[in-house]
Every structure is written in C-alpha cells, then in structure tokens.
C-alpha cells in the first residue's frame, strides 16, 4: 500500500489561528510504503492499536464499508483518521456538532495532519480557501455538518464529485436513527451518499449499542457490503461508587479538595440546584461554574470553553451539559441527584476518563430521589410509556441498592455477558463481610408473617420499630413483634429487609403498592431455625490514590509541573490543554524520566511532529527536575508495548478451564495443588493465573514482591520479553520462572 503522510513544516505559533487559510505553511512529504502501524507511532505517538482498531482500519483500506460500535473514549476517531492518511484523496467526516469539529481539527493540526472543517461559522473567504485546498488535493480530512451535504441543488455533492474523495466517515451515526437517543433529521440526507458515490467506502461510528439502532443505521445508510465491528462497552478505567446521599455535602467538598488537581462534572437535576451548589462550593474556594439550558448561549459557551481549557475545574451542570464534550481528562463525574435511567447514567459517567486513565463515577443515592423521579416519570394519558419509564427508573434504583458487582449489573443491562466481578466498583472493593444475622432476619420475617404478608417494606419497618404513626393499625400495635426492633436505627432495618429481598428470603409483589411476602426459604428460617448470613451495612471507602497511578511510581511534583507547562503552552495557543498532550502523556514522562529527545519516542502521545514542536521544552523540564532531585532516568523500564507484545506469557483467554484454576486459587489452593488436582502441568496453571493478573482479577503482589518485581523489570528493560530462559539465566538463581511470568503479565495490565 502506498501511503502519504502530510506534515506542517513549521510551528504555527497560535494553533487557533486560521490554519486553513495559511496553506502556504503546508508542505507535502510524500513517503512510500508507510504502514498503518508506522503512522500510529510517528503521527499519533501510540505503540499499539486499541480494541479492534487495526482490523477496522484494514477493512476500510480494502475499500469496504464498516459500522463501528465502540464505547466513548474507545478511540473511534483513529479508525477513520488513520485510513484518511493512507488513502490518496480526502476523507469527508460528517459530524453533528460544530464545537466537536473544531476540537478534532485542532488535535489533528497539532499532530501535523492537514485537516479543516467547513461550517456556517466561517466567512466566504475562508470557505473558498478550503475549497481551493480540496481542489488541489491538499487536505487529508474535511469535517462537515450534515446540512452542508443537503445544500442548494446538491451543490456540495457535485463539488465533492469534482474532487478526489477517498472515504466518508459518519460520526455519531446513531443520529440517523429514530431509535437512537439523539435523532437528527439532517442526518437523513446521508442515505444519498451510497447512491451518489457507490464506489466509495463508508465508515459509520457510534457509541450507542442497541441492535435496533445498529440495524437502522445500516438500513438508512443503504450499506450492503459491510462489516459490523462491536466492542465491549465496558469502561475499565472508570471506577463506580454509590454512596448514601444523606449529609453528602461535606463529603463532596472533601472529595473535591482531595482531588484538587482534577477536573470533573457534577450533575444535578434542576437548574436552580446547579446554581446553588456552585455558590456553596465557591465558598470553599473550589473553582466551579454552573451550566444549564436556562443560561444565555454566550455565557454557556464561555463557561464550556473555560472548562475545556481547565480554567474552570468543575462544571456543576444539568444534563444539558456534555453532549459533544471531547475533553479527555475529565477525572470524575458525580451525580448528586439520581439519573432517570441507566442509559443516561452510563452516558454521563462515560464522559470521564476518555484518556484511559483512572477516573471515578460517584453517585449520591437516596430513595427520596426515586420518589421524586417517579412523579416525573408518570406521563399523563400515556400509561404504556409511563410504565416503561418507571421500569427504567426502577432498574436505576436497583443499581444503587445491589450488593453485587455494579459493573456486572451495568454490562448485563446492556446485554453484555459479564461473569467476573470487576474489582473496581465500591461493592467489589468493599466486599461486604457477612455476619450471622439470624435473629435480625427472624424479627423481620416474623413481622411480615404476623401482619399476614399484606404490607410494604416501610410498614413492616414501622411495626418493628414500634412507630406511633396513625398509619399503623391499632391491632398491629398489640402484636408481640411491635417495637422489638427499637435497638437498631430504622435505616438499618430497611437495609436488612432489602438484603433479605436480594437473597430471596422475601418477595415483593408487583402491585402498585408492593407488599412483602414470605418464600420457601424464609419458612426454613422461621420454622426450621435455619441460620441466615447477611452483609453489614457499611461506609463506602474511596481509593484516594488512583490505582493506575499506583502501578508505576511516578513523581507527583514533576507530574504537576509538566501539566502546568502544558497548560501554559495551551493557553498561549488558545486551545484546550489535552490538544497539546493528554494527562497520560504527562504521566508517562513523570514515570520514565526520558533523558534524550530520542527517548521521547517511547512516551505515549509523542509523535514525530509533537516531538519537533514540544519535545525540547518538555525534555528540558524533566532534565532540570531530575538534576535537582538527583533522579536517574527510568526509560529502560519502558519497553515499547510492541516489543512487549511478543511476550512469552502464552496469551490465554477467559475460558472455563482458566476460570476453574482461578476459583481453586481463590479457595486458597497453591499452584502445585491446583496442577495436581486438575491433572494439568504447573506451567498451564501458571499461564491461567498469569492471565488473571494481566486482567487485574488477581494481584501480582500475591505472587511476587514489589522488590523482586523491580529487579525482574530491570532485566526485562535490558533483555525484553522474547525469551523467558534468557531472563531466568540473567537473574539471580532464586528467581523462578513463575515470578518472571507473573511480572510480565502484570506489565500487560
Ligand atoms: P471516541 O471518539 O471513541 O470517544 P476518541 O477517538 O476521542 O474516542 O479517543 C479517545 C482517546 O484515546 C483520545 O485521546 C485518543 O487520542 C486516544 N487513543 C485512540 N487510539 C489510541 C491508541 N491506539 N493508543 C492510545 N491512545 C489512543
Ligand atoms: Zn465490581
């Protein structure tokens, strides 16, 4: 394949200046036989493709259509940006949001790629210049809004026919479907593309997963020879936490002060509460602004812009905020009010961590919110719709109340099978300790029995607690169970009743006013004295230090200084900081402390163009810092991920057999014991467990101490991972194959 890569030949001092009219800056550097992998490394500065990017790109380059379903932050853009650079003509990217276009073009230009956009914000002169560049085949990507394609008398379509177009990319493709959550009538015109350009490939991309929308996209775009590329919708770098909403304000302030370097979004239900919360946060010196649809457009745009550029650290917003926010370093999304369904929750929390670094989704939950939302969910005169909305709300509430892995629940909700616990949600991180709760269970269950299984949860708790309320019938106040639960707060009775429901000791009827019923299981407790074990209600712990940061030891002070330098450059150039470099690039620098310009090639996000532009300033800062602090470079520990890929650890997949080994290990058996029990070789068992280290399910610390890992990693830095034997022979003799393997697996995490 012949590919051409185009670079800007000199530094635009201000990236925001109208780069599209200064095409005299642009110089074509045609290079032959550049592989997608080389472009990935040289232009984008990444070592490896993510998810199935490589297959998608290969498919597109073979001239076929593709539908790509990938979660937010998964790396959809690269799936058409990279082919665009390999193909001879221009790639037309249809995108619904003007703000997003600019962002994407800024990012590409910052990496030296010739890209531009055409939209209504530009004057005639600018537009003509872009047309000229297109006619000269000087652009690799052109972003347009769908309405542009409509144009008068198909003018634009005819123009496209007169130039060299190689590919159409339809971003946010779900907008074409009524079934998607964001239908846009302008998108309907895209059905014309295949008719007008039958021989050109089309790639449609979306983060919306359901089958209905997917099939509608294929149908409306008129795709015939296409392939669908689906990915897991899991966002492994987002940690999910749910905390009780009661007295949440102080906790929220503490959280924000604990994360004072980080940017985040706080979602509230109403416009008024965004304003109120912002004011309150400001009194603690927290840099926050409110955002909602009731504000003047200018003010909204200004605040959004400040947030993107990190001048505003925290956006306190209604759901009006977020669509089209491409900011990659949103470290947390907090819901202080309950979202109305899982779809909204997942979309909103999904705005965190697009850069792949550790991020948190925190929700403050109260049943009061459920009640409030129930009122909104009831659509007058439309019982069918109300029912669906209420069911969705119910699923949202269940998500908050379950005591099993929350990620599993989310993925299952979206129809994905998830069998393993994630170890990165509050439930997994605070695995509840169970205790003998037989007496508590007996009290609850006998109350349900004594009131003839005809009342709901709150009533049962009131009886247990001996409430004076008039709601409680006089005859129930005479029961022996009345008031036997005075010794424990009401909240806890509610908690245990829910636990009994979750564990199948109680059932809740489907009526409008659900009542609690006994089950076969509960009769065993009441009449056969069977014991009941339940988890204790507990405070949720939140990991203060993001886990991903704990994996490597990075220099915090240097990390902050690097971010400041990056922000300064971004300010000067009037672009958001993440367009210059993502947080993960800064983290890589502060971890591996490169010592030469050449070392920078190993740092994620440092492509050729960016090394030319910014390499020296960042390197100078690292060098000065290391000199002052007397720190040696750690770059030898940074194997290019591609080298690491030839790892000797046999790549396992999660299968029944690996899973059996995992379960046996979790039961406390040693690797030798598992091997013997399963009649498999010890090497096989090592590989099984190494696999679970590479997924994070098992902790490498349980197999190799950090000190020994450091020694092994040092050797890996020198020798690579091609030969286990070579490593073993060069390490002190007491280092085992198993330890080496586990260390390699942990590096793959
Ligand atoms: P999406 O459009 O799917 O939400 P983006 O295309 O904006 O996601 O990509 C999210 C982030 O991931 C961007 O910062 C992008 O540069 C980065 N990225 C994409 N592909 C890779 C890769 N192969 N390796 C490392 N980072 C990547
Ligand atoms: Zn979990």
Three-class DSSP labels, 423-438: CCEHHHHCCCCEEECH
Q: Which residue has the higher pLDDT, 511 or 141?
A: 141
330-335, strands of its sheet edge to edge:
238-244, 359-365, 330-335, 263-267, 314-317, 288-291
| 546 band by pLDDT with thresholds 50, 70 and 90 | very low
- Pocket residue to mutate for ligand 1, from 68, 71, 77, most atoms within 8 A of Cβ: 77
CA 356 to ligand 1 center in whole angstroms? 8
> 305-314, 452-461, 533-542, 587-596: lowest mean pLDDT where?
533-542
- Which ligand is nearest the CA of 420, by number? 2
CA 430 to ligand 2 center in whole angstroms? 10
Which residue minimizes the CA distance to atom 25 of ligand 1?
A: 46
Question: Of all atoms in ligand 1, which is nearest to the CA of residue 70?
Answer: 3
- Cβ(605) – ligand 1 distance below 6 Å: no
Residue 166 has pLDDT above 90, yes or no: yes
Q: Tell me the per-residue pLDDT of 390-420, one tens digit each, with 9 for 90 and over.
A: 988 999 999 999 988 999 999 988 888 877 7
> 48-57, 203-212, 476-485: lowest mean pLDDT where?
203-212
CA 240 to ligand 2 center in whole angstroms? 8
Alpha-carbon distance of 92 to 127, in angstroms, equals 15
Alpha-carbon distance of 499 to 478, in angstroms, equals 27
Residue 137 has pLDDT above 90, yes or no: yes
Q: Which residue has the higher pLDDT, 292 or 388?
A: 292
Per-residue confidence (pLDDT) for residue 197, from 0 to 100: 94
| 544 band by pLDDT with thresholds 50, 70 and 90 | very low
Residue 388 has pLDDT above 70, yes or no: yes
Q: Which residue has the higher pLDDT, 359 or 655?
A: 359
CA 236 to ligand 1 center in whole angstroms? 14
Q: 721: which 2 tokens?
A: 């991972």
Per-residue confidence (pLDDT) for residue 552, from 0 to 100: 53
Alpha-carbon distance of 353 to 359, in angstroms, equals 5
Q: Tell me the per-residue pLDDT of 494-539, one tens digit each, with 9 for 90 and over.
A: 889 988 988 889 998 877 788 999 999 999 999 888 899 888 775 5
Alpha-carbon distance of 496 to 487, in angstroms, equals 14
Per-residue confidence (pLDDT) for residue 726, from 0 to 100: 75
Alpha-carbon distance of 100 to 412, in angstroms, equals 31
List phi, psi (to 5°) of 642: -70, -35
Q: Tell me the per-residue pLDDT of 464-498, one tens digit each, with 9 for 90 and over.
A: 988 888 889 989 999 999 999 988 888 889 889 98
CA 108, 111, 112, 115: dihedral to nearest 10 degrees? 0
- Cβ(206) – ligand 1 distance below 6 Å: no
- Cβ(606) – ligand 1 distance below 6 Å: no
CA 727 to ligand 1 center in whole angstroms? 34
| 723 band by pLDDT with thresholds 50, 70 and 90 | confident
CA 573 to ligand 2 center in whole angstroms? 41
Per-residue confidence (pLDDT) for residue 590, from 0 to 100: 94
Count how many residues are written for the chain. Answer: 749
Assign 401 to helix, strand or coil: helix
- Cβ(74) – ligand 1 distance below 6 Å: yes
Q: Tell me the per-residue pLDDT of 433-465, one tens digit each, with 9 for 90 and over.
A: 778 899 999 999 999 999 999 999 999 999 998
Per-residue confidence (pLDDT) for residue 31, from 0 to 100: 36
Per-residue confidence (pLDDT) for residue 141, from 0 to 100: 97
Per-residue confidence (pLDDT) for residue 550, from 0 to 100: 41
| 645 band by pLDDT with thresholds 50, 70 and 90 | very low
How do strand 288-291 and strand 141-144 relate by DSSP bridges?
unpaired
- Cβ(50) – ligand 1 distance below 6 Å: yes
Structure-token match 């790549």, residue found? 651
- Cβ(690) – ligand 1 distance below 6 Å: no
CA 75 to ligand 2 center in whole angstroms? 24
CA 49 to ligand 1 center in whole angstroms? 10
- Pocket residue to mutate for ligand 1, from 75, 206, 579, most atoms within 8 A of Cβ: 75
DSSP alpha helices (H): ranges in 515-576? 520-528, 547-551, 556-573
Q: 708: which 2 tokens?
A: 């020994």
Q: Is the CB of residue 11 less than 8 Å from the CB of residue 573?
A: no
- Cβ(46) – ligand 1 distance below 6 Å: yes
Which residue minimizes the CA distance to atom 16 of ligand 1?
A: 75
CA 54 to ligand 1 center in whole angstroms? 13
- Cβ(81) – ligand 1 distance below 6 Å: no
Q: What is the CA radius of gyration of the chain?
A: 29
Question: Of all atoms in ligand 1, which is nearest to the CA of residue 48?
Answer: 23
- Pocket residue to mutate for ligand 1, from 78, 110, 111, 644, most atoms within 8 A of Cβ: 78
The residue-averaged pLDDT of 174-186 equals 77
Question: Of all atoms in ligand 1, which is nearest to the CA of residue 40?
Answer: 23
Q: Tell me the per-residue pLDDT of 649-660, one tens digit each, with 9 for 90 and over.
A: 545 666 778 888
- Cβ(233) – ligand 1 distance below 6 Å: no
Question: Of all atoms in ligand 1, which is nearest to the CA of residue 604?
Answer: 25
Which residue minimizes the CA distance to atom 10 of ligand 1?
A: 73
- Cβ(49) – ligand 1 distance below 6 Å: yes
- Cβ(77) – ligand 1 distance below 6 Å: yes
| 561 band by pLDDT with thresholds 50, 70 and 90 | very high
DSSP 8-state symbol, 186: G
- Cβ(328) – ligand 1 distance below 6 Å: yes
Alpha-carbon distance of 270 to 74, in angstroms, equals 31
- Cβ(638) – ligand 1 distance below 6 Å: no
The residue-averaged pLDDT of 18-41 equals 52
Q: Tell me the per-residue pLDDT of 236-266, one tens digit each, with 9 for 90 and over.
A: 889 999 999 988 999 999 999 989 889 999 9
- Cβ(747) – ligand 1 distance below 6 Å: no
DSSP 465-532: HT---TTS-HHHHTSTTTTTTTTS-HHHHHHHHHHHHHTTSEEE--SSS--EEE-HHHHHHHHH----
Which residue minimizes the CA distance to atom 1 of ligand 1?
A: 73
Alpha-carbon distance of 226 to 650, in angstroms, equals 33
How do strand 359-365 and strand 238-244 relate by DSSP bridges?
parallel
Question: Of all atoms in ligand 1, which is nearest to the CA of residue 326?
Answer: 7
- Cβ(169) – ligand 1 distance below 6 Å: no
Q: 473: which 2 tokens?
A: 């019938």
Which residue minimizes the CA distance to atom 5 of ligand 1?
A: 75
- Cβ(47) – ligand 1 distance below 6 Å: no
165-170, strands of its sheet edge to edge:
115-118, 141-144, 90-94, 165-170, 202-206, 65-69, 226-230
The residue-averaged pLDDT of 556-580 equals 92
Alpha-carbon distance of 586 to 604, in angstroms, equals 9
DSSP 8-state symbol, 227: E
- Which ligand is nearest the CA of 241, by number? 2
How would you class 561 by CB atoms within 10 Å of its CB: exposed for 0-12, middle for 13-18, buried for 19 or more? middle
- Which ligand is nearest the CA of 399, by number? 2
Alpha-carbon distance of 442 to 108, in angstroms, equals 65
Share of the chain above pLDDT 70, in %: 89
| 3 band by pLDDT with thresholds 50, 70 and 90 | very low
**Element (DSSP H or E) covering residue 613:** none
pTM (2 decimals)?
Answer: 0.63
Q: Tell me the per-residue pLDDT of 604-640, one tens digit each, with 9 for 90 and over.
A: 999 999 999 999 999 999 999 999 999 999 888 876 5
To the nearest whole number, what is the mean pLDDT of the chain? 85
Distances (CA, A) of 77 to 25, 72, 582: 25, 10, 16
Per-residue confidence (pLDDT) for residue 651, from 0 to 100: 55
Q: Is the CB of residue 418 less than 8 Å from the CB of residue 411?
A: yes
- Cβ(582) – ligand 1 distance below 6 Å: yes
Structure-token match 């652009």, residue found? 139
The residue-averaged pLDDT of 284-293 equals 95
Q: Which residue has the higher pLDDT, 730 or 78?
A: 78
- Cβ(355) – ligand 1 distance below 6 Å: yes
Per-residue confidence (pLDDT) for residue 233, from 0 to 100: 85
Alpha-carbon distance of 718 to 713, in angstroms, equals 9
Q: Is the CB of residue 33 less than 8 Å from the CB of residue 2?
A: yes
Residue 5 has pLDDT above 50, yes or no: no
- Cβ(580) – ligand 1 distance below 6 Å: no
Per-residue confidence (pLDDT) for residue 469, from 0 to 100: 83
């Amino acid at each position: 394949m012949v590919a051409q890569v185009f670079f800007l030949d000199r530094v635009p001092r201000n990236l925001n200046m109208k780069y599209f009219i200064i095409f005299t800056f642009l110089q074509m550097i045609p290079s032959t036989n550049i592989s997608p992998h080389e472009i990935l490394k040289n232009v984008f500065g990444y070592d490896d493709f993510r998810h199935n990017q490589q297959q998608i790109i290969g498919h597109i380059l073979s001239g076929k259509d593709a539908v790509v379903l990938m979660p937010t932050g998964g790396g959809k853009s690269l799936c058409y940006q990279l082919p665009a650079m390999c193909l001879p003509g221009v790639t037309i990217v249809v995108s619904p949001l003007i703000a997003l276009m600019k962002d994407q073009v800024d990012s590409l230009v910052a990496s030296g790629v010739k890209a531009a956009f055409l939209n209504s914000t530009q004057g005639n002169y600018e537009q003509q210049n872009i047309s000229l560049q297109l006619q000269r085949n000087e652009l690799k990507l052109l972003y347009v809004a769908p309405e542009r394609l409509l144009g008068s008398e198909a003018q634009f379509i005819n123009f496209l026919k007169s130039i060299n177009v190689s590919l159409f990319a339809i971003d946010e493709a779900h907008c074409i479907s009524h079934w998607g959550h964001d239908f846009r009538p302008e998108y309907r015109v895209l059905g014309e593309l295949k008719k007008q350009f039958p021989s050109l490939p089309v790639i449609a991309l979306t983060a919306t997963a359901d089958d209905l929308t997917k099939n509608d996209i294929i149908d409306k775009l008129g795709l015939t020879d296409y392939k669908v590329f689906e990915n897991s919708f899991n966002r492994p770098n987002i940690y999910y936490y749910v905390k009780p909403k009661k007295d949440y304000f102080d906790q929220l302030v503490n959280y924000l002060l604990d994360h004072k370097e980080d940017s985040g979004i706080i979602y509230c239900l109403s416009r008024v509460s965004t304003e109120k919360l912002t004011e309150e946060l400001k009194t603690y010196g927290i840099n926050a602004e409110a955002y909602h649809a009731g504000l003047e457009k200018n003010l909204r745009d200004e605040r959004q812009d400040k947030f993107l550029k990190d001048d505003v650290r925290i956006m306190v917003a209604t759901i009006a905020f977020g669509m089209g926010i491409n900011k990659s370093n949103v470290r947390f999304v907090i819901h202080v009010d309950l979202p109305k369904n899982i779809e909204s929750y997942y979309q909103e929390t999904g705005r965190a961590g697009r850069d792949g670094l550790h991020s948190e989704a925190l929700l403050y939950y109260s049943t009061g919110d459920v009640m409030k939302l129930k009122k909104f969910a009831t659509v007058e005169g439309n019982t069918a719709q109300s029912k669906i909305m209420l069911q969705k709300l119910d699923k949202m509430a269940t998500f908050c109340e379950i005591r099993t892995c929350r990620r599993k629940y989310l993925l299952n909700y979206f129809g994905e099978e998830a069998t393993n616990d994630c170890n990165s949600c509050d439930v997994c991180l605070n695995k509840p300790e169970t205790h003998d709760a037989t007496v508590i269970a007996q009290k609850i269950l006998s109350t349900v029995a004594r009131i003839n299984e005809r009342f709901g949860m709150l009533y049962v708790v009131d009886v247990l607690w001996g409430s004076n309320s008039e709601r409680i019938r006089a005859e129930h106040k005479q029961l022996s169970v009345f008031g036997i639960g005075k010794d424990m707060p009401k909240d806890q009775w509610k908690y245990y009743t829910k636990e009994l429901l979750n564990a199948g000791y109680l059932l809740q009827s489907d009526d409008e006013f659900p009542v609690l019923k006994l089950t076969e299981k509960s009769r065993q407790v009441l009449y056969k004295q069977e014991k009941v074990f339940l988890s204790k209600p507990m405070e949720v712990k939140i990991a203060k230090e993001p886990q991903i940061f704990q994996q490597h030891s990075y220099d915090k002070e240097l990390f902050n200084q690097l971010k400041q330098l990056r922000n300064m450059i971004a300010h000067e150039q009037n672009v958001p900081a993440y367009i210059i470099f993502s947080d993960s690039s800064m983290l890589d620098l502060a971890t591996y402390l490169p010592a030469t310009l050449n070392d920078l090639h190993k740092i994620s996000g440092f492509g050729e163009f960016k090394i030319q532009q910014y390499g020296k300033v960042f390197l100078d800062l690292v060098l000065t810092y290391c000199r002052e602090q007397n720190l040696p470079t750690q770059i030898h520990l940074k194997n290019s991920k591609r080298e690491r890929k030839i790892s000797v650890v046999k790549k396992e997949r999660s299968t029944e057999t690996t899973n059996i080994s995992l379960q046996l290990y979790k039961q406390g058996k040693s690797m030798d014991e598992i091997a013997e029990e399963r009649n498999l070789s010890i090497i096989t068992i090592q590989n099984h467990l190494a696999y679970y280290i590479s997924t994070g399910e098992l902790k490498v610390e349980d197999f190799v101490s950090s000190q020994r890992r450091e020694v092994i990693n040092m050797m890996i830095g020198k020798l690579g991972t091609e030969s286990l034997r070579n490593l073993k022979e060069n390490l002190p003799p007491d280092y085992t194959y198993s330890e080496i393997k586990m260390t390699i697996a942990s590096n793959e995490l």
